[in-house]
Structure 1
Amino acid sequence: MNKNLIDWPTFTGALIILLAVSIPLAVFPESGKEIVSMANDFVTGNFGVLYLIFGLATFAFLIYVSFSKNGQIKLGDKVSEREFGTFSWAAMLFAAGIGSSILYWAMIEWAHYYQGPPFGIEGESKEAIQWAPAYGIFHWGPMAWAIYTLPSLPIAYFYYVRKKPVLKISEAVRPVLGKLVDTPLGNIIDVLFMFGLMGGAGTTLALGTPMIAQGVNDITGLPPNLATKTVIMLLCTAIFAVSSYSGLRRGIKVLSDVNLWLAIFILAFIFVLGPTVFISETTFTSFGLILNNFFKMATWLEPFANVGGFTETGFPEAWTVFYWAWWLVYAPFVGLFVARISRGRTIQEMILGTIIYGTLGSVLFFGIMGNYGLYLQLTGTFDVVGYMNETSPQAAIIAILNHLPMAVIMVPLFTILAIIFLATTFDSSSYILAAVVQKEVQTEPLRWNRLFWAFTLCLMPLVLMYVGDLETLQTASIVAGFPVLFIMGLLTWSFMKASNEDLRASKDYEPSTIYINRREIVQRARKRQEQEAALKRSEDKES
């Protein structure tokens, strides 16, 4: 066990802040929940416009970079081959960035919009029906994946181009902050990221575990109580601990591939044996509705609420602002992971691949699963909304699946998929947490380090689940993630500064893919400095 590789201030700092938030929430759940809720309302209510501006700016910036000379830079040496094939690469980034949360929201999010639609539209009206399937695709679409992609640019650049064997957010902002990164400020940046990730992981557990428990109840008759949820959480922990311990190639890659193939099978089954025409037409119509109203949806707030006869719906803060804040909390983690698995690709391939494959996966889930539930609602086959309001969203999801042909097979497969999805997110998370607390990561983080964070990710949410405050931990992480807005700005500045400096120092380049030889740049810079010094000495001698 090589303890010298561990960055102990970051390691202990992350644990301390997690305990400092989690223990008071466990001991004083009601007071803690109220305080965190007030802080969340303050952040989303007063700074919602910043989140929406950030989302649009990030999307525009990445499109610009991908088609600029910076986008042609290759991540690695000239002869570096892609570490992972496109299928496995797409599977890993999608599983890491989405997790079992997409199974939950893809199935049921439309029902929330149907009852409480945007733009002051009347609930359960014909107009509400049009927006219900579209808004989920928008929230999980290109803007979400753009926010995820942004941190991967500087991290991948420094890791593969400048050969810095460090996977840290703080290291990626070194061109801007300089030696300040080596002070406690660098540790604070990394600790804030780690806390946000652990809180975001708690959210995934909060949504995924009850849904899996409901599936287990349908299959076995076991009640979806705390005991069942505890066993499920421990089972998922065991799976992702083994996967993380095995590493990227033997663990995370294999689990992600299995996850994607099973998801494709379930989606294809629902699409082919469900209302195929309705699903196709509704998804395509939703796509057109989003394109037509993209900027309206991306900028809509409620500045006229409670004045001039306008009624406040709370929709932007409850959904769009919240989602952008949630993606922001997860973004450094997904960015770190995408950067780690992208060796051999150009920056353009990494940007467009992440946004396109991520969006395509989300569209398939929301378009097929969500619109199948909407079809049941509109045809009167099953009152999804009424059942959800009477029971729970998780129970409604399993009830929707029970209306499929061969439900006795599909419900178990869906439950297995949810378990694997949960595990793939967590093994990626533990892998990155382990990488962040190491001073160097030449190949893989230390195994004991990966295992430690795998169990840490489970234990705190498990404790909080017993006091009913997993949602409060999620909200606390969103509030704590507010400073990440500014860190993301530093990451953007850092990437452009470093890559432009290297491009200006490189030889003239003709190929479409730019290969930066960092060693040659340093050697030429030293030679130029020596020539200038010699010239100055010559001039001084003559004078």
Structure 2
Amino acid sequence: MNHPAPKGEAPNIDGSGRLSLGDPIVLILSIGFIVAFLALSFYDVTFVAESISKGFAWTALALGSYFQLLLLLTFFIAIGLAVTPAAKAKIGNLDAPEMSTFKWLSIILCTLLAGGGVFFAAGEPVYHFIVTPPAFSSEAGTVEAVSNALAQSFMHWGFIGWAVLGSLTAIVLAHAHYVKGQPLQPRTLLYPLLGERLMRGPLGGVIDACCVIAVVAGTVGPIGFLATQVSFGLHEVFGLANSYTSKLVILAVLASMYVLSAMSGVHKGMQLLSRFNVFLALAVGAVIIVFGPTLFLVNSYLSSMGVYMSEFFPMATITAETAPAWWMQWWTVFFFAWFIGFGPLVAIFVARISRGRSIREMIIAVAVLAPIATTVWFTLLGGSGIYYQLNGVIDLTAALNNFQFDVATLTVAQALPGGAWMTLAILVLTTIFVATTGDSMSYAIAVVGAGHDNPNPYMRAFWGIAMAVMAAVLLYMGAGQISALQQFIVITAIPVSFILLPSLWDGPKAAYAMAREQGIID
């Protein structure tokens, strides 16, 4: 196993020359989860929803502080590593990057921002504006509450959440796969701890399946909610029918986009979708800045970043002892667990697209630049929403108290300059955001099954279609089952967090090993 890997992409055939369709244990357990969840939901929807809700609440209460500590340690160790000489080491046995910096950053931003960019960027800051977060004492709905509301959103979607997605874990995986020839799978993160038996035995398949299930739970939610959001938006703006049939059509279009993109690979469809979305996001942002509440947004961003920095630790370490349990459960712990659940598979994807980049470039891109771009996006949409809420142009109090973030996004979009045209642009933007998550996660799941970075295109298509079908079935049962599946990722974050944990010390070790192998340090 410890032989150098070839410098190009690994072939997608096994030793016998046949197409390798993946680890059967991963396939059986992952598909088994999808089938079991759907079957149980058909049998007793209430039982499934209540069982997940109880597990969700227990996880948030019992393990919330552990999740917070894991994210904090990951971020600070990664940043500390980035300033060392070892961070000059290049990833993936390549001296030069495979893709341009713009293409690379576009894929990172569009892949990882989708959940926040689609569902929470417009509504979450407004929610924290009308319901004061427990870390602050400002009066809700006042000017003093603006910077606190945005800062709380920055905490949930900022530095520490992003860092767990593709910094230390991506370094471990890149060194293990491209240098040592080990499979590009979550189990590889535990190889230094558990050894060779893990790689070949059934436990490795179980570990990989846990990570796949977490990503399926976290990806099907945005896919299903997007169909609901776009259908609702087209009905409100253009008068089209808001029916289950319309949602199925939207799902079919979305699935076609990300399945074809996943099949074409990171150098074709994924790049094309990501670049288009970045240009569209820049255009939407430019319209908001030029024609929207410009001075309010600029001032709010600067003051909110100041609050984010000064209140960073109080917000990051608040617990159920000092905050309402429901608030921790539905906000901080939910988002942190969501990041953890996506951690291993997104790290696989980041390691794959970062070949030829230095460790320092990868850490800065994922843990610093991407979070800053996210805070800007939240300020443009959420800050505009706060401005219109503050001035009585819109009133999202009832919608957000019922967690109707699709209504919040559409309402803010309609209030923005351009009205219906801006709404249409944001609907297209959010659709492609979700598509870039769908294609990258379909690709990453197929990589886990194959163990290398060029999995069979038909397996990529299979996983993309499977998630779309699951979303369609859950939409038929009602949006409540998609919400239940979203909550399930918090439960899956428990085993996934233990898979990520060794990277706190193995990440720096792998970085220094790469630096020594490349002659950067003695």
Contact 2:68 2:336 in 1 (8 A): yes
Q: Output one character per residue of 1:458-511: Cα deviation in whole Å (capped at 9) or x when no partner.
A: 11122112112011111122202211111111233443444545666x58x4x5
Q: Would the alpha carbon gap of residues 389 and 175 (structure 1) be closer, same or farther in structure 2, given more than 3 Å must change?
A: closer
1:358 maps to a residue whose letter is A
Contact 1:154 1:492 in 2 (8 A): no
Q: Which runs of 5+ in 1 are unaligned?
A: 306-311, 517-543
Cα offset, 1:396, TM superposition: 3.2
Partner of 1:95: 110
Q: Would the alpha carbon gap of residues 155 and 100 (structure 1) be closer, same or farther in structure 2, given more than 3 Å must change?
A: same
Partner of 1:460: 470
Q: Distance in 2 between matches of 1:391 and 1:433?
A: 30
2:49 maps to a residue whose letter is K
Partner of 1:279: 297
**1:342-353 maps to which residues of 2 (within 5 A)?**
342-353=354-365
Partner of 2:502: 490
Which range moves more in the overlay, 115-124 or 273-282?
A: 115-124
Asked if 1:39 is matched to 2:55, the reply is yes
Partner of 1:472: 484
Q: Would the alpha carbon gap of residues 288 and 229 (structure 1) be closer, same or farther in structure 2, given more than 3 Å must change?
A: same
Q: Would the alpha carbon gap of residues 321 and 393 (structure 1) be closer, same or farther in structure 2, given more than 3 Å must change?
A: closer
Cα offset, 1:390, TM superposition: 8.5
Q: Would the alpha carbon gap of residues 403 and 497 (structure 1) be closer, same or farther in structure 2, given more than 3 Å must change?
A: closer
Classify the secondary structure of the residue corresponding to 1:222: coil
Q: Output one character per residue of 1:379-402: Cα deviation in whole Å (capped at 9) or x when no partner.
A: 122223356569943233222222
Q: Distance in 2 between matches of 1:346 and 1:502?
A: 10
Classify the secondary structure of the residue corresponding to 1:75: coil
Partner of 1:540: none
Partner of 1:527: none
Number of positions where the alignment pairs a residue of Structure 1 with one of Structure 2: 500
Asked if 1:110 is matched to 2:163, the reply is no
Q: Distance in 2 between matches of 1:168 and 1:449?
A: 15
Partner of 1:299: 317
Contact 1:100 1:418 in 2 (8 A): no
Classify the secondary structure of the residue corresponding to 1:173: helix
Partner of 1:372: 384
Match of 1:250 among 268, 284, 295: 268
Partner of 2:101: 86
Match of 1:135 among 148, 152, 177: 152
Contact 1:176 1:493 in 2 (8 A): no
Q: TM-score, normalised by structure 1?
A: 0.87
- Percent identity, aligned pairs only, is 28
Contact 1:62 1:146 in 2 (8 A): yes
Match of 1:52 among 49, 65, 68: 68
Q: Distance in 1 between matches of 2:498 and 2:467?
A: 26
Contact 1:102 1:365 in 2 (8 A): yes
Match of 1:325 among 337, 341, 356: 337
Contact 1:104 1:394 in 2 (8 A): yes
Contact 2:75 2:367 in 1 (8 A): no
Asked if 1:226 is matched to 2:244, the reply is yes
Cα offset, 1:334, TM superposition: 1.5
Classify the secondary structure of the residue corresponding to 2:230: helix
Partner of 2:5: none
1:233 maps to a residue whose letter is L
**1:54-69 maps to which residues of 2 (within 5 A)?**
54-69=70-85
Q: Distance in 1 between matches of 2:407 and 2:329?
A: 26
Q: Distance in 2 between matches of 1:490 and 1:23?
A: 36
1:73 maps to a residue whose letter is A
Q: Distance in 1 between matches of 2:325 and 2:340?
A: 24
Q: Would the alpha carbon gap of residues 501 and 114 (structure 1) be closer, same or farther in structure 2, given more than 3 Å must change?
A: closer
Partner of 1:413: 425
Cα offset, 1:155, TM superposition: 1.2
Q: Distance in 1 between matches of 2:215 and 2:342?
A: 6
Classify the secondary structure of the residue corresponding to 1:91: helix
Q: RMSD across aligned C-alpha pairs, in angstroms?
A: 2.3
Partner of 2:368: 356
Q: Distance in 2 between matches of 1:185 and 1:21?
A: 22
Say which one has the larger Rg.
1
1:221 maps to a residue whose letter is G
Q: TM-score, normalised by structure 2?
A: 0.90
**1:395-410 maps to which residues of 2 (within 5 A)?**
395-410=407-422
Contact 2:89 2:514 in 1 (8 A): no
Q: Distance in 2 between matches of 1:503 and 1:249?
A: 27
Partner of 1:523: none
